[in-house]
Amino acid sequence: MSTFRAAAVQMRTGIDVAKNVAAAEALIREAAGQGAQYVLTPEMTTILDRERPRLLAAISPEESDPSLKRFQALARELGIHLHIGSMAIKLGEDGVANRGFLIGPDGVIRARYDKIHMFDVDLAGGESYRESRLYRPGNQAVAVDLPWTRLGMTVCYDVRFPNLYRVLARSGAAVMAVPAAFTRTTGEAHWHVLIRARAIETGSFIVAAAQGGSHEDGRETYGHSMIVDPWGKILAEAATEPGVIVAEIDPAMSATMRGRVPALANERAFSAPAAGAGDELPARKIG
């Protein structure tokens, strides 16, 4: 394993795909210009839109998506590993995947990941989100080998489900990608805690590229893209505006931290308590 330079791109994606792709390309070029060899963009890089008919009219199936082809050409031109945190990809007539793509410096797609956990919540102040009405969830954890280390691929709301990160860490991932579009409300309360917790409990680097600011579809996102080391130290952090953050990643530090605090190795299977009255989850064996 050797060190490498990673970048997180922060965006304020709107409802015009062409404008969003142009904005992403400019920031990716900026990151590459700062020496980044791995560049992560946020969740919903190419469009952020809660209006289903308008979203469906603007997106394409993977095999014919012009934005994806443009990103592949860009990765090849810049000679970088380009991780498009996620895009809305059409599945059939009315299905949509929230799908991330890891593109190699040859322009070839090395891995795909469909977001597993859907953000279906009602927040204080009247905010309500039903991601499952727009997107079909994935069901497969994904880790992919980079030249320097192994990368775990996740998206946004996944960060609230720590077992996913433990599974990825056990598969050998020393770096976890968390492209996101956290709301301002949840971000202010939980973003820093969740990102640092996932780093600490798995002994992993976290590269988290976020959306930030007020968007055309009416939502407001928190921003604060971060790169965090396995000890939980924030190596780089953005504010709310679009931009790029960069940090050096030394995968060997992950192995060191996992040896110093062997939480993954020390984990033990245990039995869950019987479900209480009104609970829906049955008793089951954990681990």
Q: What type of residue is 48? A: L
Confidence of residue 88 (pLDDT cuts 50, 70, 90): very high
Q: Which CATH number fits domain 4-286: 3.40.50.10420, 3.60.110.10, 3.30.460.90, 1.10.600.10?
A: 3.60.110.10
Q: Name, in order, each residue with C-beta under 8 angstroms of 36's C-beta and a sequence gap of 6 or more.
A: 5, 6, 7, 80, 244, 246
pLDDT of 285 higher than 60? no
pLDDT for 92 = 86
pLDDT for 94 = 80
Task: Judge contact between 244 and 255, C-beta under 8 A.
Answer: no
| H runs (alpha helix) in 59-131 | 66-78
Phi-psi region of 195 (alpha: psi -120 to 50; beta: other; left: phi over 0): alpha
Task: Judge contact between 166 and 203, C-beta under 8 A.
Answer: no
In angstroms, the Cα distances linking 199 to 169, 202, 226 are 10, 6, 11
- With CA atoms as reference, report the closest residue to 46 among 66, 32, 64, 31: 66
pLDDT tens digits, one per residue of 14-73: 999 999 999 999 999 999 999 999 999 999 999 999 898 999 999 999 999 999 999 999
Residues forming the active site: 43, 115, 156
In this prediction, residues 181-203 reach a mean pLDDT of: 97
pLDDT tens digits, one per residue of 12-23: 999 999 999 999
pLDDT for 286 = 45
Give the whole-number percent of the chain exceeding pLDDT 70.
93
Strands annotated E in 216-260: 220-222, 226-228, 234-237, 243-249
pLDDT tens digits, one per residue of 115-165: 999 887 776 666 666 787 789 999 999 999 999 999 999 999 999 999 999
Going 131 to 152 to 221 to 162, the CA torsion angle's sign is positive
pLDDT tens digits, one per residue of 90-124: 998 889 999 999 999 999 999 999 999 988 777 66
pLDDT for 121 = 73
Task: Judge contact between 8 and 33, C-beta under 8 A.
Answer: no
Task: Judge contact between 70 and 107, C-beta under 8 A.
Answer: no
pLDDT tens digits, one per residue of 237-284: 999 999 999 999 999 999 999 999 999 999 999 999 988 766 665 544
Q: How many CB atoms lie under 10 A from the CB of residue 111?
A: 16
